[in-house]
Every structure is written in C-alpha cells, then in structure tokens.
Amino acid sequence: MTAMIDVQGFTKQYGDFTAVSGLSFTVQAGEVLGLVGPNGAGKTTTLRSIAGIIPPSIGTIRIAGHDLLADPIGAKRQLAFFPDEPRLFDYLTVRQHLAFVARLYGVIDHEAVARPLLEEFEIADKADTLPGELSRGMKQKLAIACGLLHSPSVMFFDEPLTGLDPLGIRRMKNSILQRARAGAAIVLSSHLLHLLEEVCTHVLILKRGARIAHGTLAEVSAAFSNGESGVSLEEVFLRATGGSEG
C-alpha cells in the first residue's frame, strides 16, 4: 500500500540554523500521527513544509503519490493545512469565506457541502458575521470548515485543540477520528498529551529538530517504560526529552 504521506530525509534550515534534520516517516490512510516535542522542537516547521507552505532544504515529500515539489498542485488538491493561527479575511463573512474558498478549489455546489460543516463546527448561526465579531475558537472553527470544503484525504493540524472549550475539544477530536475512519491520513501537533492519546494511532517525538521516538502509542510507551506497563504519553515525553528545552 502506498503511504498517503511519505516524508524522506526532510531537513529545514533557516539561514545557517538547522530547525529539523533528516526526518523520515510515513502515514497510511486511516492513521493519525501525533507530532510532539518541546517548544522550538520543529513541529510547526515540519507541518508547514509537508503542507507546501515553506520549501524543505533537503528531502522529498509525497502526498497521495504526488511529489510536493514536482507536482505541487496535484499534492495540494489532496491536502489541507490548519495553522495554529488561522488567517481570515477581515471583510468577508463566515458564509463569504466558504464561498470564496470553494471557488478557489473548484468545489461544485459548495452550499450543500458548507451547510453540514457549519453545523458540525457550530457556526451556522454566525453565517453572516465578520471575523472581527467571532471568538477565537469560532475563528478556528471557520478556518477548519474552509479547509475541509474540498474533502482533503490528507490533513495537517497545528495545535487544533488549543483554545477550544471542553465541548469544542470533544467535537474536534470526533471530527478528526471520523475523518481518519473514513480513510484520511492525519498529522497533528499538540502539547495536550492526554488528548493526543485519545486520537492518535502513532506518535513521533521531536527534540531540537531530530526524531527521538516514533511508532504506535504502545511501541513508544514500551520504548521508554523501563519495564513498567501502561506508561502515559506525558511520562514518555518527559523521559524522552529529558525535560530540557527543545
């Protein structure tokens, strides 16, 4: 089976600073990979690169079989990237955002696609509201609804749970799980490790731009267990990263 996400030898330098070095991993359809690591470990850098926002310095990235550098349009049609600080258009309402993004992606009958997304993310009653009058969590939900309009099969979320209320977190977790079950391949970063344990099939721990652990939750837990069973991801994280800065 070809991986939906295939990252090989990814390195990113900002000037002479190496933010991520030699990272390789694959994500299959239906898998959810949690990217974890201390502040500055390179999570956002990795997500931005594999989503085609910033170019890698070295390495190849394939999205649903499309090489991100050689065939960026083919790759980007298949993916959605949800940044930690979504940017919205100040003078477009919620409804107008969805219509605009639908046009960019050539989504046919976008109102029929948008309506259930507005319901799912509970912003249907704000359809005619401008971003300036939305709460932080609502803006995040609008950005996610926009990103899902073209039914991506690969999704990258940078800290999708931060800033949501408890019910919002539960719904976001369900939305992610539901899309993975439907066959999407998903990578998300988060510092909320107990929540990651509930949505991820796999985790990759980064420290100072290097991979220090990767596998299923059970494999990563076993690797840092010191013989104990059922070691939590939080405990694994602390042991793996030594509690020092990324």
Ligand X SMILES: Nc1ncnc2c1ncn2[C@@H]1O[C@H](COP(=O)(O)OP(=O)(O)OP(=O)(O)O)[C@@H](O)[C@H]1O
Q: How far is the CB of 61 from ligand X (least distance, A)?
A: 16
33, 40 in Cβ contact below 8 A?
no
Mask 74-113, x = binds ligand X (CB under 6 A)? ----------------------------------------
Q: Which residues are at the interface with Mg ion (CB under 5 A)?
A: 43-44
From residue 5 to residue 44, the character string flagging contacts with ligand X as x (rule: CB under 6 A) and all else as - is ---------x--x-x-----------------x-xxxxxx
**Closer residue to Mg ion, CB minimum distance, 43 or 139:** 43
Q: Which of 166, 162, 80 shows the shortest CA–CA distance to 117?
A: 80
What residues have CB less than 8 Å from 109, skipping those under 6 apart?
Answer: none
Which whole-number Å values give the CA distances from 156 to 129, 133, 181, 246, in the listed order?
A: 27, 27, 16, 21
Among 4, 31, 45, 117, binds ligand X (CB under 6 A): 45
Nearer to ligand X, 153 or 189 (CB): 189
Roughly what angle, to the nearest 10 degrees, separates helices 110-120 and 94-105?
130
Q: Nearest distance from residue 14's CB to ligand X, in Å? A: 3
The residue whose two tokens read 């940078």 is 158
Residues lying near ligand X in the complex (CB under 6 A): 14, 17, 19, 37, 39-45
